Amino acid sequence: MAAIPEKRQDTALRSKKRILLIATFLIMAGLIFARLGHYALWDDESDTALTGKGVQRTGDTSILLDHGNILAYRGGISVTGFRGRTMPPLPAYLAAASFTLFDVDAFSARLPFALFGLGTVALILLWIRREPWPVPLVLAAGLVGNVSLILFFRQCRYYGPTIFFSVAILFIYWRWKPTPRNLLVLSGLSFLLFASQYLDYIALYLCLGVDYLVWRRREWKPGWLGWLCLFGPQIVLNGVIGSIWNPFRTHIGNYESFNTLGDRLVLYFWYWRDMDRCEFLALPVILLALGVGLAQRRTWLVRGVVALAVYVAGVSLVSPQIIRQALEGEVRYLTPVIPLAIALEAGVLCVLLERRKGLLIVAVLVVFGTNLLNYWPFLPSGLRPWELRSTLLSYLGELSLPQTEPYTPTAQWINDNVPEGKSIWVLPYPAAYPLMFHAPKARYAWQLEWPPRPDFASRPPIDFIGQEPPDYLIAFGPSLEDMARFLQAWNRPDVHYQPVKTIDVYWLDKYRPELYWRNFQSTTDFNHDTEAIYIFQRVAPPPAAVPATPSTGETPATQK
C-alpha cells in the first residue's frame, strides 16, 4: 500500500483539529446556556443583580431600589451613603446593561457572565489550536468534563469575567512579545480584572511576579517604556476604582483583623482540600505533574504548579473569610485556577501516555469523567461508594430534570398573594434578596439593626429590626425556631400572626456552583415539619373578653 503523502497527512490533521475545536465550542455553549434562567437567583447572585438594578436607575451602585426596598446585605456592612462600596463595580454594570437591553429576569441577569464564560472557552481553544495531537483532544475533554467550570460560568457573579480576564492576561504574557502596544492591551485587561474582583487581581499579579523573577526575567524585557505602558494606566484607573469601591472604607474592612497568620495557614490547606472536593482539580494528578516536571525537566509543568501554589497563597493572605466561623474554604475566590489545573492535568497525561493511546483514553475518562481521584486524601474511610459518580452525567441528568428549589415557588406565592407595599420579614436574612429580585413589589422589612447608624437614620421604622410589625413572616426551614424565639422575646401582645401557607419543598438552595453545597437532583427526603418554607400573616388580636355582670335588666351599654 502506498504511503500517504506527508502534506496530505498534515491537511487531514488540521481538519481533524478544526472539527474538534468547533465541536468543543458548541458542546460547551450548550452546557453553559442550557436552562440558564431556570433557577431563581441565589443570594450572592441576587446581590449582584439588585446592585445592577440600582446602577440602571441611578448610574451608581445604589442600594435604593423600587417599592421602597433597600439592599442592606448583612445590615448594610458593605454600604456607605446608600451605595454599595465593597465589591468592585464591573459585575453590577454588566447586569445593568443586560437589564437595559433585555427583561429583568434570571436569564438576562446571568447572560453577560455566561458570555464571558463562552469567551473563555474560545480563548483556550485558540491557545491550543497549534498544539500537537493529542493535546487538543485531551484538553477539550478536560474542559467538557469540568462541571465546576461550567457551573461558575452560569452565575450572575464576578466568576465569568475574572476567569476570562485572567486567561487573557496569561495568554498575552505567555505568547506575545512585550511591545508597548501589547503591554497597553495587557494593562487594559488587568484594569478590567481589578474592576471585577480585587482578590483575583492581587493573586494573579503575585503569580506573574514570581514567574517573571524566576523564569522570564532574561527573555521578557519590556524596557522602561514597556513598564510604563503596563503599570501607568493601571495605577491611574485602578486608583480611581479603589478610591470609590473600597472595602476598607466600609464596615466589612474590619473582617481582615479577625484572622491570624495561623488562621490563614489553615485556610491555605482548606483551599487545596476543597478545590479537590469541588473538582477544580484532581490533586494526585497535580502532584504527578510537579513530579514529572522536575524529573523530566519540563519547565512548563513546574511553572504551572508553582503558579497554582502561589495563587492559592495569595488568595489565602487577602481573603475576607473568617476562619473561626467556617468549615469550608470559600473556593469561589479561586475559580480562575480551573483552566490552569485542566491544562496541567491534560499536559501530564499527554507526556506520560502519548504513545499508549489505550491507557491515555482510560486516564482521560477517569480524571475528567469521574470523581474517583477526588476526596480520598481527606476522608478517614476513603471514597465512600455512594459518592462515586460522573459529575458530567449528573449535570446532564439535572438539565433534563431540574431540581426543585425554594425561591421560585416562594416568590410566586408572594406575587400572587401579597399586596404591593405590604411588608415581609424573611429568615434567614440572605433569603430575602432572591425574593426581593423575583417578587419586588413587596416591602422587605427589618434589614437594619436598631439603633441606626447615622447614615441610615433617615430610613423608616419598617427597615429596623423590632421597630414596626411586618405584615408577613417567611421562615426557611430551621430558621422557623429562630423566628419564634425572637417573637417571644419581642413580647408584643398586640401583634399576632397565623400560618397561611407551607411551601412543601426543601428550604435550602442546593443549586449553588460549589460542589460541596450542590445537589444534582431534588431533595425529597426531608422533614416536612421543620425543613420546608413557612409563611405567616399578621392578624388582628383577638377581642378582649367581656366580664360577666349581674342581671339587672340593663345592657352593658346602658350600665354606668
Each residue's pLDDT tens digit, 189-221: 999 999 999 999 999 999 999 999 999 999 999
Q: How confident is the model at residue 12 (pLDDT cuts 50, 70, 90)?
A: confident
pLDDT at 258: 73
Q: Say yes or no to pLDDT of 422 above 60.
A: yes
Distance CA 338, CA 515 (A): 14
On the 0-12 / 13-18 / 19+ scale of CB atoms within 10 A, 29 is middle
Distance CA 111, CA 98 (A): 7
DSSP labels, 39-56: SPP-HHHHHHHHHHHHHH
pLDDT at 552: 44
Q: Are 46 and 433 in contact (CB under 8 A)?
A: yes
Distance CA 323, CA 264 (A): 8
Distance CA 494, CA 468 (A): 12
Can you read off the three cell numbers belonging to residue 182?
501589547
- Residue 497 host element (H or E): strand 496-503
Secondary structure of residue 500 in the 3-state scheme: strand
pLDDT at 2: 44
The rounded Cα 165 to chain-centroid distance in angstroms is 16
Q: Are 88 and 67 in contact (CB under 8 A)?
A: no
Distance CA 509, CA 515 (A): 12
Residue 217 identity = R
Furthest-apart CA pair in the chain: how many Å?
A: 126
**Predicted structure pTM score:** 0.93
Q: Say yes or no to pLDDT of 4 above 70.
A: no
Say what the alpha-carbon torsion angle 541, 547, 548, 550 is, to the nearest 10 degrees.
-150
Residue 409 identity = P
Distance CA 53, CA 47 (A): 10
- Count the Cβ atoms, other than its own, within 10 Å of residue 547: 6
Distance CA 330, CA 110 (A): 21
pLDDT at 397: 97
Q: Which residue has the higher pLDDT, 556 or 169?
A: 169
Q: Are 244 and 194 in contact (CB under 8 A)?
A: no
Each residue's pLDDT tens digit, 373-420: 986 555 544 456 667 899 999 999 999 999 999 999 999 999 999 999
149 CB-near residues (< 8 Å, 6+ apart)? 117, 143, 163, 335, 338, 339, 342
- Count the Cβ atoms, other than its own, within 10 Å of residue 294: 13
- Residue 444 host element (H or E): strand 443-444
Q: Which residue has the higher pLDDT, 555 or 249?
A: 249
Once rounded to an integer, what is the mean pLDDT over residues 44-64?
96
Interstrand relation of 533-539 and 496-503 (parallel, antiparallel or unpaired): antiparallel
Task: Tell me how far apart the terminal alpha carbons of the chain are, to the nearest angstrom.
Answer: 124
Distance CA 325, CA 263 (A): 11
Q: Are 466 and 411 in contact (CB under 8 A)?
A: no
Can you read off the three cell numbers belonging to residue 376?
480520598
31 CB-near residues (< 8 Å, 6+ apart)? 144, 150, 395
Beta bridge partners of 496: 539
Q: Are 454 and 390 in contact (CB under 8 A)?
A: no
- Label residues 132-165 b or e (16+ Cβ within 10 Å = b): eebbbbbbbbbbbbbbbbbbbbbbbbbbbbbbbb
Once rounded to an integer, what is the mean pLDDT over residues 78-84?
91
313 CB-near residues (< 8 Å, 6+ apart)? 206, 268
Each residue's pLDDT tens digit, 325-344: 888 899 999 999 999 999 99
Tell me the pLDDT of the chain averaged across its residues. Answer: 92
25 CB-near residues (< 8 Å, 6+ apart)? 118, 121, 122, 125
pLDDT at 321: 87
On the 0-12 / 13-18 / 19+ scale of CB atoms within 10 A, 418 is buried
Which residue is associated with the grid cell 474542559?
143
The rounded Cα 498 to chain-centroid distance in angstroms is 37
- Count the Cβ atoms, other than its own, within 10 Å of residue 218: 6
Q: How confident is the model at residue 140 (pLDDT cuts 50, 70, 90)?
A: very high
Q: Are 497 and 536 in contact (CB under 8 A)?
A: yes
